[in-house]
A and B are shown apart, each in its own frame.
Chain A
Amino acid sequence: MPDLSVNIAGIELANPLMTASGTCGYANEYADFVDLRTLGAFVTKSISVAPREGNPYPRVVETRSGMLNAIGLANVGLERFLDEKIPLLEELNLPVFVNIAGTNIDDYVQVTEALANVDVVKALELNISCPNVKAGGIQFGTDPASATEITRAVKAACGKNKLIVKLSPNVTDITAIAAAAVEGGADALSLINTLTAMVVDVETRKPVLANRTGGLSGPAIKPVAVHMVHRVYTQVAKPAGIPIIGMGGIQTGRDALEFLLAGATGLAIGTALFVDPACIVEIRDTINEYLTRHGCTSINEIIGALE
């Protein structure tokens, strides 16, 4: 059986699969539907210092081969996360990556410091790419100097935790932001977050979502994501020796393999979980089958192997 284990910034994962932040709640929601230990790591929904109730309804709308969401970083806040959710995450017996959000650097640092000594947490994923709130970090994700500044500030507060910076595709040149995050001390990069998008109700002449715009996810964005992963891999991550967690429309094992070949070491599954949480089993097994058929003994042989 091929070896599926990968190493992300010094964290050993049994396989590259993880949940994409915001599509998996806080651990226990999918317990009835799939054994989450099929994953290599668990990535939580965004946590901010104060609880956030999120945007008004409607928050989601389906599109061709995808969906828009504008949830607005609804979350229970840091205090309840520590009290109520960390114990549930401990039961998963998986490395946990916590996605952190904020409106200014102090917010991010406060969440970072609070998680520095939590054992089950192995890494933080810095959300500087949420397109759905007015001050939700995207301002840090679209300007290279700001990206470096916040990465550096958060990295200094991380303690034992590794720092993953999650990149927005809503920029002219994603490699510039990737390079800025690396300069700030990022241990890994994750990409892509959703693409800002709009669906219009032609009868009312209004956007369908209450937030007017939302983030496009699902199979529709996969080719964009694969391309961006490959660009960041070749131009930034590989030269710097930093791993990429690839995401954006992964639904099947073949999708996952495209990301691996393009240069992703980790793989996050998001929208597909809404349709069938057990898709991670098929994805894992298809990767295994592919490696066996191609005579590979380790998944590392195909990471970045695009010709």
Chain B
Amino acid sequence: MMLLLCCHFCGAGFQPALFFCAAMLYNVPMCTTDKTRGVFAATVLENRPLCDEHYLIRLQTPGFPATEAGQFVQLQCRPNAIPDAIRVVDWTDDAPPKLTGGEIADGEPLLRRPLSLAGRDGDILDIIYRVVGRGTGWLQRAAAGTELTILGPLGAPFPIPDTISQAILVGGGVGIPPMLYLAKALNAAGVQTTAICGARTAGLMPLATDDSGQSVEFSARGAHSILCTDDGTLGRGGLVTEPLAELLAAADDPAAVAVYSCGPEIMMKYVGLATTDAGAQCFLSLERSMACGMGTCQGCIVKIKDDSERGWNYKLCCSDGPVFPAESILWE
């Protein structure tokens, strides 16, 4: 019944025409319960570092629609109000207009940032992000209580075929977060799960370890974990594809195994090749730069194999993906 509570402030549909909505572009709270996707108001509950460059942000997002592992959101990475809102107080009789200067000084990112969900607890969305530029740099400074908007949920989730009894998750760097959400779903589905998580070095592993070297986060989701670092400073030294090959070789029935991966493209390419060679199913979550996330800007193209003469066509990462079967992807 949240619908009745929020609809008067809703950006879409029912709104008295003379009601001047002070909400500018980024803070239009939306109707919630009747929508499967939309723009929603969110409040930062917590925003803390997990390791070098990686942060966990928890967002209270009332009425956010149902989500599944593998889906993503477009998060606003700038202050809520655009400071050039018309206000009567800006224009006085005895002085020139009080210009906010906001438009000229606005150096905050225009576009939202596509970020995968790391988990969800009721209205609370968990996102783990890596600070790589202006948008995530701003996000890192968003204190508890900061109000943002979030657009989503977007994209297709990881499929969980009912034919599988075992899952292997392969996450690289900031590709690990969606694997946490997926581990929870696989646990609920009764699938035995091992997560292989790789980072360049110990300081870039966004996971906590227990005395036995297991990831606390994956253990809490019922999954065994194998941590790897390129330089051997944490867990196994070397690439994630080595333990993957071992697990695939040890599988009694590869057809009942699904491998899920997210991370650097070169890693996913070899994860896909190793998995399909072994006869297991493989689903990869791709990353592309995009403007909208809703299938309109057409910026986030991926070459996907088809039965056309040349053997491939462009699909959109945001709306056809971001999860694709590994064998369907045409690697450059």
Contact = CB atoms under 8 A, between A and B. Distances in A.
Interface of A: 1, 23-25, 29-30, 32-35, 38, 53-54, 56-62, 64-67, 69, 71, 74, 218-219, 251-254, 257, 271-279, 281-282, 285-286, 288-290, 292-293
B143 to A, nearest CB: 23
If over half of B's interface residues share one DSSP class (helix, strand or loop), that class is named, otherwise mixed; here it is: loop
B249 interface: no
Contacts of B112: 275
Given A53-B313, A62-B109, 18 more contacts: A29-B296, A35-B13, A62-B111, A219-B103, A219-B106, A251-B82, A252-B24, A257-B86, A271-B110, A273-B292, A274-B294, A275-B110, A276-B25, A276-B39, A278-B28, A279-B25, A286-B20, A293-B88
B18 A288 contact: yes
A35 B10 CA distance: 11
Nearest to A56: B301
Contacts of B76: 275
Nearest to B149: A276
A56 B302 CA distance: 9
A170 to B, nearest CB: 21
Given A34-B11, A54-B314, A254 B301 contact: no
Interface in B278-306: 288-292, 294-302
A282 B25 contact: yes
B86 A253 contact: yes
B84 interface: yes
Interface in B3-50: 11-13, 15, 17-21, 23-26, 28, 30, 35-39
B151 interface: yes
B28 A276 contact: yes
A35 B109 CA distance: 26
A69 B292 CA distance: 12
B84 A218 contact: no
Contacts of A271: 110, 291
9 contacts: A24-B296, A25-B296, A29-B294, A33-B37, A66-B110, A254-B84, A278-B30, A282-B21, A285-B20
Contacts of A34: 11-12
A65 B82 CA distance: 12
Interface in B78-124: 82, 84-86, 88, 103, 106-107, 109-112
Interface in B223-251: none
B23 A218 contact: no
B18 A276 contact: no
Nearest to A255: B84
Contact of A25 (B30, B36, B295): B295
A33 B151 contact: yes
Contacts of B28: 276, 278-279, 281-282
Contacts of B17: 1, 285, 288
Given A271-B110, A274-B291, A281 B25 contact: no
B290 A60 contact: yes
A290 B36 CA distance: 33
B41 to A, nearest CB: 12
A53 B110 CA distance: 27
A252 B82 contact: yes
A58 B294 CA distance: 17
A53 B111 contact: no
A59 B109 contact: no
A60 B317 CA distance: 13
A140 B292 CA distance: 30
